Amino acid sequence: MGWRAANRSDLDWIEVLLFAHIEGSMFLIGNLRDHGFGSDHPHGLTLWVRETRDGVFAITNTGSVMMMAPGCGDAEWQDAGQLLGPREVTAVIGNAAQVRSFIAANELQDHPCQLDRDEPGFVLDMAELAVEIRPDENIIPLADAPRALIEEWRAAYEVEAVNASPDQAQEKARRDIAQYIARDSHRVLLVEGRPVAMAGHNTAFAEAVQVGGVYTPPALRGRGYARRVVGRHMAECRDRGARRAVLFAASEEAARAYRSIGFRRAGTFALVLFARPSQSRAGHVRRCT
């Protein structure tokens, strides 16, 4: 049995499947909850499901492909690629094994990339969160931090984390910081009143959050600031009712820091951003209903 267009009666079992594999599904869950499928929002989804109810495959209106289908092999991923028809693919993100299988099955492995990276995933049970609070430190909302400084930090993050050009990074940083302030999604760690690190969540719902945008300026690294700002922010999320958190570690140093506050290893996440849009195998896009 193959893929078919999703319909609204599928939503309950889709959520059960995605939450069972939360470490690779947070972007998909977030887009689905925030924008649904069949909408014209940039992050709105065209969504397909396996007839056997063990797989989900999607593309956003901006061309990001996402999936959670642990049992699929090459033939199923080729079929999934054909669903995209002539649509441009700008990124493929999700569980690393599934992303790599999809890319190989659809002959995209040689397409030029801006970023092509696998990162270890981590999950935190909020009941196991270990928070370190120091008397000379505090965390504040992004809105209360110096705007020029945090935009500078965010631009540096874009260059370092996703290989953005400096001009692209500065433009995106301004947009991102404005959105983060509007959503109250990020915090800044102060040491004796001085901003030293930033962290937040890029996806959040009542029961879970996905940590993102963790940044410490290079000259201030190695002092535990990232660990402590993430820990204190997660304590806030826990107090609002979140039971789990997910993140991906860009380095072994980051992984050690996250383990120290209670995160445990859970899968591997792949983020593939194409340098220019690609196309998968030709076919016909069947819209969701």
Is the pLDDT confidence value at 286 over 70? no
Q: Would the pLDDT of 47 be above 70?
A: yes
Q: Which two tokens stand for residue 149?
A: 């400084």
Contact by Cβ (8 Å): 199, 233: yes
Confidence of residue 262 (pLDDT cuts 50, 70, 90): very high
- Cα–Cα dist 210/263, whole Å: 12
- Reading phi first (left if > 0) and then psi (alpha if -120 to 50, else beta), residue 268 is in beta
Q: Report, as an integer, the average pLDDT of 245-252.
A: 92
Among all chains, which residue has been given the structure tokens 């599934």? 98
What Cα–Cα distance (Å) separates residue 155 from each residue in 158, 186, 226, 251?
Answer: 5, 15, 17, 19
**Is a pLDDT exceeding 70 seen at residue 70?**
yes
Q: What tokens were used for 30?
A: 């977030």
Q: How many CB atoms lie within 10 A of CB 255?
A: 18
pLDDT tier, 283 (very low <50, low <70, confident <90, very high otherwise):
very low
Q: Which two tokens stand for residue 177?
A: 């910081």
Residue carrying structure tokens 């893929």: 3
- Whole-model pTM? 0.86
Question: In the prediction, which pLDDT does 90 show?
Answer: 96
Answer yes or no: is pLDDT of 289 > 80. Answer: no
Q: What pLDDT digit, counting tens, does each position of 209-233 carry?
A: 999 999 999 999 999 999 999 999 9
Give pLDDT, residue 1: 64
Residue 250 banded pLDDT, cuts 50, 70, 90: confident
Note the pLDDT tens digit of each residue in 58-68. 999 999 999 99
Work out the average pLDDT over 103-116: 93
Of all residues in the chain, the percent with pLDDT exceeding 70 is 96
d(Cα 177, Cα 238) in Å, to the nearest integer?
23
DSSP states along 92-161: EEEEHHHHHHHHHHTT-TTS-EEEEEEEEEEEEEGGG------TTEEEEEGGGS-HHHHHHHHHHHHHHH
pLDDT score of 216? 97
Query: Strand 88-95 vs strand 264-279: parallel, antiparallel, or unpaired?
Result: antiparallel
Confidence of residue 280 (pLDDT cuts 50, 70, 90): low
Bridge-based pairing of strands 88-95 and 194-205 is unpaired
| Residue-wise pLDDT tens digits, 175-204 | 999 999 999 999 999 999 999 999 999 888
- Residue 243 confidence (pLDDT): 96
